[in-house]
Structure 1
């Protein structure tokens, strides 16, 4: 009998796979995933944050059950129903903003960003999109073409895109991080002043580019420039928003109120759901220019409402701040243990944590070690992936317990020590390309 992984290899398209180890799972509960042979794994990814409430959360189970039992159709394309309207109302109540606003509902962060970008181009009759190097905004359309990660991988950049350097406090330029910020802002000002910019799309924390946390105030200064030139800023909160950074919205850290905010992943609680919240003058026209038949469907929108209610009523943003601090402290406590000299940096906000692995002699990024560490962590009982080549992206469910946070640090510490000591089979790891 073939294994589940072998069966997958025989039937599912490779273009939709991003594999780091032969992960097979048959069930999940809370922050735990279970394999076909009954092994339990601590989930430190939450499916790239999409399972933000963990697995089998009762609020999601109840919402799905209620919605499926008597679903009024399968989408919001040509009809309205209580949960699509209700979810839009919930989002407008939770997302700060001025004036008349609208909500686009979609299936994934990719389409939410793509629609927001196209809507900005239409509304302002301008074409150029400002974005950042090593950014990620989606895997389709314009969103893919303005994603630095995809461009780095060989995807053609959108012809009307401009990529700016994202300030990285751990790896600043020769003149230091403050000068990097100044240089970035001056470059942004130059483009914005040219009159051709349709919008500026920004990740408040650069996620797939290496979980880079920018200096305090950076997002605010970018937004001030955008406002000065009448250019809408799209804040991409798909991966880093809705409680994960220890605040409800990641942009709150800098006291910013973006013109457009996009959501995905955790919003659907594991189901396909996304949203863009922004001015009616941008998102209302042209009619029927962003059609997905099952977008706004009763099941996903019911779950979205349950997710938002749970995050707010259970104060999961505050919990993420507290548990995230414990997890970071536990990781820093690895100092002095075997392999700890390979940890170059530990950074993050709330339960969005990056652990950068380096060559201990030079401080250079060590992607080979990162691949070995995530593989060894899987063997030891945890699911974690790397981004930016050499950074462990630690984004567990928002319901992670204190005990699980401590155990996560123990497993990661052991995985780093084993990989640094040469105890991981390079040939086996090489079978899984990751990024």
Structure 2
């Protein structure tokens, strides 16, 4: 354990830590991180997708350097800045939608979702929020109480939130993969028919709940239900949007135009920045009801504008689709027993799924079993770190593979090799219970 990590243990509050191994990094470039001591690690998380353009992208570095040199204040609370206004205008230009719309600028996906949920309650005069089990929308306020991941972990649910089943083709809640979408939509229909829903919030891919990819058409059918019942649909693109799924927006996979869309993580290029885009009638009033002093600050806003320009200029959604296809194919080779790790790795993979560079490797207790194996997941990510890669797990047992969108073919191949070896090594007992005991993960 490095001295830097030991200092972290003594100084940084545990309430903000989600640790899987003693990672202590001093710098990064592209898809690589450098530990204290100089070891290079291939980043297959992208800081939970926040580093979507990789680490130290020149466009972001230039924009931030310019903005920080002569900043026109520190936030957009009581004044207008060129970059905050420009960022909002550019978001309105790239997010589909009609009518008069506005953009809320914040610091993280948590506050963007919280503001969107509260604004829907105020605008419609209804309080009930419809969300999905095992979903994640934030770590504060209404967003926390509407996050199934937090509720699963013991946090109090928002008293006016109802949780629906997300359609999981691998482990259908109704026991039938063929009818799981119909069952989920029927449940949503019942809740929407009650007439008291302020909004429905959904992730286009259930990320922290286990990287669950819903069947094609689910989001479109859900949107149709919301339109029929006059309930705003909030699409949470914080983690899975902005190029990651092989499209600029994840909701485009089903051809949907949500009422509100929330962004975070990758939007800031590594800096704290979030946004909610939606109707003016929802986001405009009452004034001063969502205040953050440094929200819309010129430095983060400049970074956000650089991110949006780079996504388009470098065709990163298309790059994510191509790299994701290669990565998915390589991981499925492992699952088939013909890739790195051999049969020992293959027998512990229950599924490999994803869109673009949002990929999940579902670890199970054995061949033919769908029983989740959290103990194996803890050891696999630890072993991957030992072998030179950073990857985490979600949903208890699913490796979440979300590298920066700038990953190259050779880096994809390196990722496949490390993950296959890590799974096999963990199966063979090369990581002990004692080694991972200090790293609780989720």
Q: Same fold (TM over 0.5)?
A: yes
Counterpart check, 1:387 vs 2:414? no
Which one of the candidate residues 330, 334, 358 is aligned to 1:352? 358
TM-score by length of 2: 0.97
Q: Which residue of 2 aligns with 1:376?
A: 383
Task: Give the direction of change, closer, same or farther, for the CA distance of 1:188–1:173 in structure 2 (3 Å limit).
Answer: closer
Query: 5+ unaligned residues in a row in structure 1: which ranges?
Result: none
Task: Give the direction of change, closer, same or farther, for the CA distance of 1:174–1:165 in structure 2 (3 Å limit).
Answer: closer
C-alpha distance in 2, partners of 1:97/1:313? Answer: 23
Task: Give the direction of change, closer, same or farther, for the CA distance of 1:174–1:86 in structure 2 (3 Å limit).
Answer: closer
What secondary structure does 2:172 align onto? coil
Q: Which residue of 2 aligns with 1:166?
A: 166
C-alpha distance in 1, partners of 2:173/2:404? Answer: 34
Whether the 8 Å contact between 1:339 and 1:421 is mirrored in structure 2 is no
Task: Give the direction of change, closer, same or farther, for the CA distance of 1:173–1:274 in structure 2 (3 Å limit).
Answer: closer
Deviation at 1:174, TM superposition (A): 5.5
Deviation at 1:115, TM superposition (A): 0.1
C-alpha distance in 1, partners of 2:92/2:141? Answer: 26
Whether the 8 Å contact between 2:174 and 2:183 is mirrored in structure 1 is no
Q: How does 1:10-409 map to 2 (within 5 A)?
A: 10-173=10-173, 175-334=175-334, 335-336=336-337, 337=342, 338-361=344-367, 362-409=369-416
C-alpha distance in 2, partners of 1:187/1:349? Answer: 26
What secondary structure does 2:350 align onto? strand
Deviation at 1:191, TM superposition (A): 1.2
Deviation at 1:177, TM superposition (A): 2.0
Give CA-to-partner distance per residue, 1:46-90, whole Å, 9 cap, x none: 000001000111001100100011100000000001000000000
Task: Give the direction of change, closer, same or farther, for the CA distance of 1:5–1:402 in structure 2 (3 Å limit).
Answer: same
Deviation at 1:175, TM superposition (A): 4.3
Whether the 8 Å contact between 1:322 and 1:350 is mirrored in structure 2 is yes
C-alpha distance in 1, partners of 2:2/2:373? Answer: 35
Deviation at 1:339, TM superposition (A): 1.9
Q: Which residue of 1 aligns with 2:439?
A: 432
Deviation at 1:17, TM superposition (A): 0.3
Whether the 8 Å contact between 2:234 and 2:262 is mirrored in structure 1 is yes
Deviating more after overlay: 374-383 vs 415-424: 415-424
Q: How many residues align?
A: 435
Deviation at 1:183, TM superposition (A): 1.7
C-alpha distance in 1, partners of 2:197/2:174? Answer: 30
Which one of the candidate residues 429, 433, 436 is aligned to 1:422? 429
C-alpha distance in 2, partners of 1:180/1:213? Answer: 13
C-alpha distance in 1, partners of 2:382/2:364? Answer: 17
Query: 5+ unaligned residues in a row in structure 2: which ranges?
Result: none
Deviation at 1:363, TM superposition (A): 2.9
C-alpha distance in 2, partners of 1:423/1:71? Answer: 52
What secondary structure does 1:289 align onto? coil
Whether the 8 Å contact between 1:63 and 1:303 is mirrored in structure 2 is yes
How well do the aligned residues superpose, as a CA RMSD in angstroms?
A: 1.0
TM-score by length of 1: 0.99
Whether the 8 Å contact between 2:165 and 2:173 is mirrored in structure 1 is no
Deviating more after overlay: 217-226 vs 184-193: 184-193
Whether the 8 Å contact between 1:52 and 1:269 is mirrored in structure 2 is yes
C-alpha distance in 2, partners of 1:42/1:394? Answer: 11
Deviating more after overlay: 101-110 vs 327-336: 327-336
C-alpha distance in 1, partners of 2:308/2:286? Answer: 29
Deviation at 1:22, TM superposition (A): 0.1
